[in-house]
């Protein structure tokens, strides 16, 4: 079953909105920078969105202020997405449009700030007493209110697969008739909990991340937000892109390490292909999870080698953005959709020498060409996996 994608956007360290993202990808210009996050002394690189500091929430949602929500609002204003939502409301009504957001940390950064500013009695200062901010559902509360949507609203938090799984949840909502359109998205901002947490697991690199490189040393953490509008497919519509397959699974193998043979990831990929009605060799491009950690990159190539041929182009774009955790799914889905729209197929930035242990060839340089069918993979902590398959509807 097809689901139309009628608009999309993403904001990350690689750029605010699609135009800046395209320029960064085409120019192979990374958004990573040496760590300069306030109150953080880790020797690493990060994907920070500088424009968050100058972004203010509208007055009607000022009570929801925080870094994560500013990032979500900054991204929501790009690429005519709000205008597209207005058209959806005119067509379907505000109560028939749902909101599904993915996040890993939500507004933990704001909570960290609040605890650093406790008064002598141990209470948070008044400006930090924000029950709807210190709340995993905060991004969805904010986005639904700003977009004027009153349909069902949900937040998914399944580590790095969070904002990939929003697509499958939206498809189920549309299929069962709960709504007529869904605004899907994700937002995750930099905070100390994730930086120091991943560092304690010895997963953070002291240099720009190098996905699939033989000398890769770990991940760089980034921040991002992105969105897409999904509706039921209608013959004769103007939609040029569609979601045609999705797969989800859980390894139940280890809290932070993927199954050595990638069995959970493989199950998600197989389910996505089956729903799409495609053979593996029909997929022309795969945006890989590709975090630059030792184990994840190796396991992902095993998954690819077991299903796809060497002619399938596959790359990781985390060298441009860092690993944006709960926003990685939407960011990389948008990058995949835009590759299908523009014909620019990104390579793998910062990878100089592919690890000879890998069982599948990874595309290093950018290429240009038509992509009819593409996949985006998101494999999270705890073995929580998601794979999405998209179709370009016009040549």
> Which of 88, 191, 259, 323 is the catalytic position?
323
Distance CA 272, CA 245 (A): 5
Q: Of 268, 247, 312, 306, which is closest to residue 286 (Cα–Cα)?
A: 312
Q: Are 367 and 149 in contact (CB under 8 A)?
A: no
Distance CA 14, CA 20 (A): 7
Residue 4 β-bridge partners: 231, 242
Triad 182, 185, 187: Cα angle to 5°? 155
Q: Of 130, 146, 151, 228, which is closest to residue 186 (Cα–Cα)?
A: 228
> Which of 88, 209, 289, 351 is the catalytic position?
289
Distance CA 241, CA 337 (A): 7
Look up 289 and say whether it is catalytic. yes
Distance CA 170, CA 115 (A): 36
Q: Of 38, 39, 28, 30, which is closest to residue 12 (Cα–Cα)?
A: 30
Look up 254 and say whether it is catalytic. no
Look up 209 and say whether it is catalytic. no
Triad 392, 160, 192: Cα angle to 5°? 135
Locus of tokens 């491009």: 285
> Which of 160, 191, 209, 351 is the catalytic position?
160
Neighbours of 125 (CB within 10 A): 11
Residue 353 DSSP label: S
Burial (CB count within 10 angstroms: exposed 0-12, middle 13-18, buried 19+), residue 83: exposed
Structure tokens at 78: 């790009």
Distance CA 162, CA 168 (A): 11
Q: Which residues are catalytic?
A: 160, 289, 323
């Amino acid at each position: 079953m097809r689901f139309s994608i009628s608009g999309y956007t993403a904001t990350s360290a690689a750029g605010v909105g699609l135009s800046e993202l395209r320029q960064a990808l085409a120019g192979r210009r990374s958004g990573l920078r040496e760590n300069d996050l306030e109150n953080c002394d880790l020797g690493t690189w990060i994907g920070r969105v500088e424009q968050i500091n100058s972004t203010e929430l509208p007055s009607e949602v000022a009570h929801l202020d925080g870094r994560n929500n500013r990032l979500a609002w900054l991204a929501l204003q790009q690429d005519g997405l709000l205008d597209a939502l207005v058209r959806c409301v005119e067509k379907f009504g505000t109560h028939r449009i749902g909101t599904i957001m993915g996040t890993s940390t939500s507004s933990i950064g704001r909570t960290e700030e609040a605890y650093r500013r406790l008064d002598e009695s141990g209470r948070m200062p008044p400006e930090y007493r924000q029950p709807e901010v210190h709340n995993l559902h905060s991004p969805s509360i904010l986005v639904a209110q700003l977009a004027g949507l009153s349909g069902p609203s949900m937040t998914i938090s399944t580590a790095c697969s969070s904002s990939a799984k929003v697509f499958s949840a939206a498809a189920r909502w549309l299929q069962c008739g709960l709504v007529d359109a869904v605004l899907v998205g994700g937002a995750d901002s930099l905070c100390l909990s994730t930086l120091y947490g991943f560092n304690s697991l010895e997963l953070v690199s002291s240099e720009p991340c190098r996905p699939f490189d033989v000398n890769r040393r770990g991940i760089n953490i980034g921040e991002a937000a992105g969105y897409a509008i999904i509706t039921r497919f209608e013959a004769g519509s103007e939609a040029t892109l569609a979601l045609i397959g999705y797969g989800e699974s859980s390894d139940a193998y280890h809290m932070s390490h993927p199954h050595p043979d990638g069995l959970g990831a493989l199950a998600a990929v197989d389910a996505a292909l089956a729903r799409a009605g495609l053979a593996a060799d029909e997929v022309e491009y795969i945006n890989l999870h590709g975090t630059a950690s030792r184990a994840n990159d190796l396991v992902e190539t095993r998954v690819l080698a077991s299903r796809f041929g060497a002619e399938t182009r596959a790359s990781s774009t985390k060298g441009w953005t860092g690993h944006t955790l709960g926003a990685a799914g939407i960011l990389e889905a948008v990058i995949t959709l835009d590759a299908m729209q523009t014909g620019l197929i990104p390579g793998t930035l910062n990878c100089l020498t592919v690890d000879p242990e890998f069982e599948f060839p990874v595309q290093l340089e950018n290429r240009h060409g038509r992509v009819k069918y593409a996949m985006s993979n998101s494999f999270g902590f705890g073995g929580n996996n998601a794979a999405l398959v998209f179709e370009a509807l016009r040549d």
